[in-house]
Amino acid sequence: MTKLLITGSGGRMGQALIEAGNLDAETEVTATHDKGEDLAAAFSDVNAAIDFTMHSFTKQVLEQALATNTPLVIGTTGHSDEEKAAIVEASKTLPIVFAANYSIGVNTLFWLTSKAAQILGNDRFDIEVTEMHHRHKIDAPSGTARRLLEILNEETGTSYEDDVAHGRVGNIGARPKREIGMHTLRGGDVVGDHTVMFAADGERVELTHKASSRMTFASGAVRAAVWLQDQPAGLYDMQDVLGLKG
Ligand SMILES: NC(=O)C1=CN([C@@H]2O[C@H](COP(=O)(O)OP(=O)(O)OC[C@H]3O[C@@H](n4cnc5c(N)ncnc54)[C@H](OP(=O)(O)O)[C@@H]3O)[C@@H](O)[C@H]2O)C=CC1
Ligand SMILES: O=C(O)C1=N[C@H](C(=O)O)C[C@H](O)C1
């Protein structure tokens, strides 16, 4: 039985993770942590920790995971480059899964996006990405959309800094071929929608994923925590857990 710590236990994902961790036959949630509580005590007797909280809190979670040699699943999004570098550094001595999205459907969307970009390219096809989330989400674009853009950048030889256009306004002129449009929508209780669109003269391909329950992310993260028990130190993502690489 894998003993799990869930940080951010009072949050939307924290609640789903407690449910998923106690539903899985191989895991049990034996420790929880929320703001203001003793983090070191929470890490004292667990086999893995799952963190879906706030980007600025990750540093403290990494410190405790390193101090107690506890494998870590990170679902939090919105990290700065410096915060991401701290995760990479910690993964030299600790097994860590760090993924913008733990649903099997979105990880299939990542794979499909890569294949579609290889086949269609960005010469005849214009590439646009949209995402929509609930009104409470604090980072934009979503971590999942950032990962989709990374994949599209890799496949088309474009860059996030130079070629991604975040929304459009005014007399912007005709669309440059290399441009990838990124459009963020926020409203209501939307759990998470992502679309990658390839639009050409005469035809259009749209790849869409819509999450309707946070349990899809939570059960994926619990699966990642169980998988992590047998892994050496290193930085992994959900594609590794699902065996979708290669
Ligand atoms: N990778 C994936 O598959 C998914 C990732 N996410 C990501 O997970 C994160 C959390 O999302 P969500 O659950 O909706 O957010 P919530 O705001 O509902 O929950 C965040 C939780 O973290 C706690 N928290 C915030 N700051 C701190 C801190 N400094 N110290 C300790 N605890 C803290 C909050 O406590 P308090 O309420 O007291 O502030 C709250 O319990 C986001 O980054 C989101 O993008 C979400 C879904 C799927
Ligand atoms: O904050 C959320 O809710 C979500 N965040 C993740 C992201 O930023 O991609 C994953 C999911 O779409 C829900």
Q: Does the pLDDT of residue 98 top 90, yes or no?
A: yes
Beta strand extents in 20-163 (DSSP E only): 27-33, 48-51, 72-74, 95-98, 126-133
pTM, full prediction: 0.97
- Nearest bound ligand to the CA of residue 131: 2
Residue ID of nearest Cα to ligand 1 atom 17: 11
Q: ipTM of this predicted complex?
A: 0.99
53 vs 43: CA distance, rounded Å:
16
**Helix %, strand %, coil % of the chain (to 5):** 40, 25, 35
Is 143 known to sit in a ligand binding site? yes
Atom index in ligand 2 nearest the CA of residue 100 equals 9
Is 102 known to sit in a ligand binding site? yes
* One-letter identity of residue 126: D
Q: What is the mean pLDDT of the chain?
A: 97
Atom index in ligand 2 nearest the CA of residue 137 equals 1
What are the φ/ψ torsions at residue 105 (nearest 5 degrees)? Answer: -65, -45
Q: Which two tokens stand for residue 117?
A: 């970009």
Q: Does the pLDDT of residue 128 top 90, yes or no?
A: yes
Pocket test for ligand 1, best of 77, 193, 209, 242 (most atoms within 8 A of CB): 77
Pocket test for ligand 1, best of 12, 13, 34 (most atoms within 8 A of CB): 13
Q: How many angstroms from the chain centroid is the CA of residue 107?
A: 10
Domain 2-102+214-242 shares a fold with domain 104-211? no
Beta strand extents in the chain (DSSP E only): 2-7, 27-33, 48-51, 72-74, 95-98, 126-133, 164-166, 180-186, 192-200, 203-211, 234-236
Q: Does the pLDDT of residue 114 top 90, yes or no?
A: yes
- The CATH superfamily of 104-211 is Dihydrodipicolinate Reductase; domain 2 (3.30.360.10)
Q: Does the pLDDT of residue 234 top 80, yes or no?
A: yes
Give the 3-state secondary structure of residue 140.
coil
Cβ(103) to ligand 2 under 6 A? no
What average pLDDT does range 162-184 have in this prediction?
97
Atom index in ligand 1 nearest the CA of residue 39 equals 31
Fold of 2-102+214-242: Rossmann fold (3.40.50)
Q: What is the dihedral of CA 219, 96, 117, 203, to 10 degrees?
A: 30
Q: Is the peptide bond before 141 cis (omega within 30 degrees of 0)?
A: yes
Q: Does the pLDDT of residue 246 top 70, yes or no?
A: no
Q: Are the CB atoms for 143 and 184 separated by under 8 Å?
A: no
* One-letter identity of residue 50: I
Going from N- to C-terminal start, the domains of the chain cover 2-102+214-242, 104-211
